[in-house]
A and B are shown apart, each in its own frame.
Chain A
Amino acid sequence: MNPWPFIIGAYAVTALGTLGLTLWSWAAMRRAEADAAKLGERP
């Protein structure tokens, strides 16, 4: 059995999962910190 489709599939799942998790967490952090900073500026 040719293992390469399984290897490529495994790396694709890992890349999608890791990148998706990192970008989602980063965007959520940026949004939350921007909201907090905006509210802090209000008198």
Chain B
Amino acid sequence: MHVYANPARFLKIARPLTAWLGWAGAALILLALAYGLFAAPAERLQGESVRILYIHVPAAWLGMAGWTGIAVASLMQLVWRHPLAAVAGRALAVPGAVFAAICLVTGSLWGRPTWGTYWEWDGRMTSMLVMFFLYLGYIALAAAEKEKGAEGRLTAIFGLVGAVNLPIIHYSVTWWNTLHQGQSLSIIRGRSTIDPSMLWPLLGAALGFSLLFGAVVLMRMRAELARNKVEARLKRLAAA
């Protein structure tokens, strides 16, 4: 991992990778969602509403994956002072917040025809809403620290502390009596209770959105590195 700590080396890999991830992700999303919308069957209990899950589940996964990435980047920044870690943490925050918001909105739109309500203050939904607010706090703190010229240690600590919410979201359906359904898919254990006709578009959409998420994070990292370069150059010119 330390091999890629050098921004020049990182950019050499990130430049071609951005386009590959972006186009592959977009193609996979289109394919999986077209299948999910028009070819996959309706579910026995949820009916046609199940089609919302092909976007809701990937959005939930990326909302959580984004903060996992922030926590890892924060740890690397605080322990190893990895030069790219703070840049990566900041680049993950906005995409993570967007997907957490998409998860909340699509979940609400799924809940109305299925449960009869847009919102319920149960463990899963409330902890996901807390995660969205944590993202907003992280973005504001990172912007304030950057404006002051600080190296972002406070933001990194916030990123680590906020990770406490991740197991709460994950286990909320087990710990509390909740309206939200329990876990029906575990990639780690290779276990699923979903019929293959619905599982494959779901996995395809999750992979596609993940690739696109990766491309967006790389774009944001490249933008920040370029802005840092301009700032440093202007400072040198002003000092000369």
Q: Which residues of A contact B (CB under 8 A)?
A: 1-4, 6-7, 9-11, 13-14, 17-18, 21-22, 25-26, 28-29, 31-33, 35-36, 39-40
Complex contact A21–B98 (CB within 8 A): yes
Interface residue tally of chain B, by bracket? 35 or more
Q: A21-B94, A32-B230, A36-B226 are in contact. Are A14 and B102 (CB under 8 A)?
A: yes
Among candidates B29, B109, B227, B230, residue contacting A10 with C-beta atoms closer than 8 Å: B109
Q: Mostly helix, strand, loop or mixed at chain A's interface?
A: helix
Q: What are 11 A-B contacts with C-beta separation under 8 Å? A: A7-B51, A9-B109, A10-B110, A14-B59, A17-B99, A18-B98, A25-B94, A28-B220, A29-B223, A36-B226, A40-B233
Q: Mostly helix, strand, loop or mixed at chain B's interface?
A: helix
Task: Name the residue among B37, B105, B226 with the largest chain A CB count within 10 angstroms.
Answer: B226
B146 within 8 A of A: no
Complex contact A33–B223 (CB within 8 A): yes
- Inter-chain pairs besides A28-B223, A33-B226, 12 sampled, C-beta below 8 Å: A2-B113, A3-B47, A3-B113, A4-B48, A7-B37, A10-B52, A17-B98, A21-B94, A25-B95, A33-B223, A36-B227, A39-B233
Complex contact B230–A14 (CB within 8 A): no
Task: Name the residue among B47, B59, B234 with the largest chain A CB count within 10 angstroms.
Answer: B59
Complex contact A25–B230 (CB within 8 A): no
- Residue-wise interface mask of B (37-52) relative to A, using a CB-CB cutoff of 8 A (1 in contact, 0 not): 1000000000111011
The residues of B that contact A29 with a CB separation of less than 8 Å are 18, 219-220, 222-223, 226
- Docked pose: A32 CA to B47 CA in angstroms: 47
The residues of B that contact A31 with a CB separation of less than 8 Å are 223
The residues of A that contact B70 with a CB separation of less than 8 Å are none
Task: Name the residue among B47, B94, B109, B112 with the largest chain A CB count within 10 angstroms.
Answer: B109
Q: A6-B109, A13-B105, A13-B106 are in contact. Are A21 and B223 (CB under 8 A)?
A: no
Complex contact A6–B230 (CB within 8 A): no
